[in-house]
Amino acid sequence: MNFPELLRWFGEHASVTVGGAGACVLVAIVLARRCRASAPGPDRPRPPAAVLVTALAAAGCTAYSADTSWRFAEHVLGMVALEERATLFGAAELALFAVALMARQNLREKGMPGTPGVLVWVITGVQIIPAFAESGFWGGIVRAFVGPVMAAWLWHLAMGIELRHRQPDAESQSLPSVLWREGRKRLLSRIGLAVRDRTAEQITRDRWTVKAVSLATRLAEMSADDKQRERVARKLSLAVGRAQAGAHPEQKQMLLQLLAARRHARSLVL
Count of CB atoms within 10 A of residue 13's CB? Answer: 12
Q: Which residues of 71-106 are buried (b: 16+ CB within 10 A; e: fewer)?
A: bbbbeeeebeebeebbeebbebbebbbebbebbbeb
In angstroms, the Cα distances linking 115 to 149, 161, 181 are 18, 20, 20
- Tell whether the model's pLDDT for residue 40 goes beyond 70: no
Give the pLDDT mean for 174-202.
72
The tens digit of pLDDT for each residue in 73-99 reads 888 888 877 777 777 767 777 887 788
Q: How confident is the model at residue 46 (pLDDT cuts 50, 70, 90)?
A: low
Find the largest Cα–Cα distance for the chain. 103
Q: Could you tell me the pTM of the whole model?
A: 0.53
pLDDT range class, residue 153, cuts 50, 70, 90: confident
Query: 42: which DSSP letter?
Result: S
Consecutive H or E run containing 205: helix 200-220
Question: Do 148 and 124 contact (CB within 8 A), yes or no?
Answer: yes
- Considering only residues 143 and 104, tell me which one the structure prediction assigns the higher pLDDT: 143
Q: What is the mean pLDDT of residues 4-25?
A: 55
145 pLDDT band, cuts 50/70/90, is very high
Helix/strand/coil for 170: coil
DSSP 8-state class, residue 191: T
Indicate if the pLDDT at residue 20 is higher than 60: no
Sequence-distant contacts of 93-99: CB under 8 A, at least 24 apart: 93/62, 93/65, 93/66, 93/69, 95/123, 96/62, 96/65, 96/120, 96/123, 96/124, 96/127, 96/148, 96/151, 96/152, 96/155, 97/25, 97/62, 97/155, 99/123
pLDDT per residue over 105-129, tens digit each?
887 777 777 788 788 888 888 889 9
For the chain, how far is it from start to end, CA to CA, in angstroms?
93
Q: Which of 162, 65, 152 is nearest to 117 (CA)?
A: 152
- Spatial distance between the Cα atoms of 233 and 48, rounded to a whole number of angstroms: 62
CB 140 within 8 A of CB 133: yes
